[in-house]
Structure 1
């Protein structure tokens, strides 16, 4: 069986700064038709950053769709045609003031492939130098540092709710040697 849905028609609903919305009529595998509501996004990057004194850098910011602040690893959207690793380094510095000497790619993932094509690249950085933050003009961020033990406890208690953050921190806990 071929797993493919053929697009019969599509309608553009909205074109914005961050996302575009379309409704597609598709032919299903069984020959029937259905509607698909799709969100198109240029992509994003995120960085799980570990300071020289073994603290994890998280940012706290209000997330309107959730109607509350969330703790997350630093992250942001890609500009059109932007290199993912360079974007990750840029976002880390803009949101936290930390500069990474190097980034290690962790994974690429789709967060919500049922309706969005947003592809997120996660990186790890542990050789950081402190600089100055340069958040976007509509970004209000509070940096918070946590020990590896605190992060493990927060994950165990379900205190972190952002998927990219949970995935990146679990990966970091499993794959990196943190003893100094």
Structure 2
């Protein structure tokens, strides 16, 4: 089945902003009915999110973060995540971000999938990784980065999602992946770090 009856074709592009890591455009597009419209969107370099699984004597814990997010003006509960550097491998980015933000390294990793957090106005794609067999070292936060690292059980995270304490789209998607992975419905293929 063809999707041609849904596809919009760019006929003009105007750059609106070239920031430190965001790039905004306004495109004129030809719609499937041959009319024209404008589309404003942000080009994003891509990112990764990590779901770190910490096996404790009293059961499975998740490594989470609390970070103030300026655009929404509040402290958010999130899984560790970060943007790709130019030319960076996604798995390498996941390993780097986990260490920088939490201080943990992982011996085993599994790629879960991808999510598009804001498809109406951004090209951002976030690759989802699980990490286990964690070992704590020293965090290496970026300049100007402030966050708290803490652990919680999967049950606690799911309750925070249900109660509206977790509203971050990537973390909600991560909770869905976690729930289905733990139930066995969405199995993962694990690989070890050499």
TM tier, shorter chain? over 0.9
Tell me the distance in 1 between the aligned counterparts of 2:136 and 2:183.
22
**SS at 2:108 equivalent:** coil
Could you tell me which residue of structure 1 aligns to residue 160 of structure 2?
Answer: 154
Identify which range, 35-44 or 101-110, moves more after superposition: 101-110
Matches within 5 A, 1:46-125: 46-53=49-56, 54-125=60-131
Question: What is the TM-score when the length of structure 1 is the normalising length?
Answer: 0.94
Moved over 3 A (4+): none
Q: CA deviation at 1:176?
A: 2.5
Could you tell me which residue of structure 2 aligns to residue 16 of structure 1?
Answer: 19
Kept in 2: contact 1:49–1:126 (CA 8 A):
yes
Kept in 2: contact 1:89–1:103 (CA 8 A):
no
**SS at 1:61 equivalent:** strand
Unaligned runs of 5+ in 2: 185-194
Q: CA deviation at 1:88?
A: 0.6
**SS at 2:55 equivalent:** coil
Question: What is the TM-score when the length of structure 2 is the normalising length?
Answer: 0.87
* CA offsets 1:126-163 (integer angstroms, 9 cap, x no match): 21010110111011010111122212222232221111
Could you tell me which residue of structure 1 aligns to residue 190 of structure 2?
Answer: none
**SS at 1:111 equivalent:** coil
Unaligned runs of 5+ in 1: none
* CA offsets 1:70-129 (integer angstroms, 9 cap, x no match): 010000000111100110110011000000112111111211111111111011112101
Could you tell me which residue of structure 2 aligns to residue 25 of structure 1?
Answer: 28
Could you tell me which residue of structure 2 aligns to residue 7 of structure 1?
Answer: 10
Identify which range, 168-177 or 137-146, moves more after superposition: 168-177
The count of corresponding residues between Structure 1 and Structure 2 is 178
Tell me the distance in 2 between the aligned counterparts of 1:14 and 1:84.
26
Tell whether 2:43 aligns with 1:40: yes
1:176 corresponds, among 159, 182, 186, to 182
CA RMSD of the aligned region, Å?
A: 1.4
Tell whether 2:141 aligns with 1:165: no
Tell whether 2:133 aligns with 1:127: yes
